[in-house]
Amino acid sequence: MNPSSTRTGASGIERGFKTWAENASLSTRERLGVAKVAPLDPDALAAYLEVRVWNPGDVPGLPKETKRHLCSPEGDEWSALAMRVGEVDVVVLNPTHSKARRASDLVHELSHLLRKHKPAQIYISPDTGVAIRNFDAAQEEEADWLAGCLLLPRLALTHCLAQRWPDDAICEQYGVSKELLRFRMNVSGAKKQFAPSRTGHRD
């Protein structure tokens, strides 16, 4: 389960993982047949991984009142659920959240699959009988970091900065929030590389 769209810190990530994640973001694009600096379509990645993407209304057997709550402002505390329905992996997204947040949440859950994470807990819903999976803190941290790399790889960021794209244009092109953009700019080193003192030409 992904309770928040805020992605910070990576203190528990093992050595070498960050480099692997950057490389994985590029190789994933290659498998999907898109350029290394092109935006990643989260739905295309889900289809490639044979993962179904649902809203709460798509969950069979879920009571109407539960569906109403999950799709209402009162149910804003959740972002995404990873579950297994029969032999199919499913990610259920909160339809009330922004497009950028849903993209981040979906890629986060898909990152668990790319890393072949084993659920720390499996909860069988009494309403639907489906298995809802939770992951431990270390796995969540890895999925956070990999999702950021998949959506905004360093190569794409330096490509945009070299062309002096404004933040709003980058966010629109890659379908991400300004919060995620700022985070990736800082941790990838792209912002430092293109700082005015280094380039002498950025405003």
Residues 104 and 169 in one domain: no
Distance from C-alpha of 166 to C-alpha of 15, rounded to nearest angstrom: 33
Sheet strands (E) in 125-182: 131-134
User: Are residue 130 and residue 59 in the same domain, yes or no?
Assistant: yes
Q: Residues 99, 157: one domain?
A: no
Are both 126 and 176 inside the same structural domain? no
Is 202 a member of any domain? no
- Cα(193)–Cα(90) distance, integer angstroms: 39
- State whether 95 and 161 are in the same domain: no
Considering the domain architecture, whether residues 103 and 174 belong to the same structural domain is answered as: no
In a domain, 144, yes or no: no
Sign, Cα dihedral of 133, 136, 138, 140: positive
- pLDDT at residue 14, as a whole number: 85
What pLDDT was estimated at residue 10? 43
129 shares its domain with 171: no
Residue 8: what pLDDT?
A: 38
Q: What is the pLDDT of residue 165?
A: 96
159 is a domain residue: yes
Distance of CA 45 to the CA centre of its chain: 11
Coil, helix or strand for 37? coil
Q: Would residue 53 count as lying in a domain? A: yes
Whether residues 100 and 167 fall in one domain: no
In a domain, 13, yes or no: no
The structural domain count of the chain equals 2
Q: According to the model, what pLDDT value does residue 144 have?
A: 95
Say yes or no: 49 and 126 in one domain.
yes
- Identify whether 79 is part of a domain: yes
Element (H, E) at 25: helix 17-32
Q: Are residues 72 and 48 in the same domain?
A: yes
Instruction: Walk along the chain (203 residues) in steps of 10 and give the mean pLDDT of each run.
Output: 41 85 97 97 97 92 84 82 88 94 96 90 72 85 96 97 96 97 94 67 44
Domain that residue 181 falls in:
152-190
In a domain, 32, yes or no: no
State whether 127 and 184 are in the same domain.
no
For 47: left if phi > 0, alpha if psi spans -120 to 50, otherwise beta; the answer is alpha
Per-residue pLDDT, 127? 66
Distance CA 148, CA 177 (A): 11
Residue 199 lies in a domain: no
Say whether both 53 and 84 belong to one domain: yes
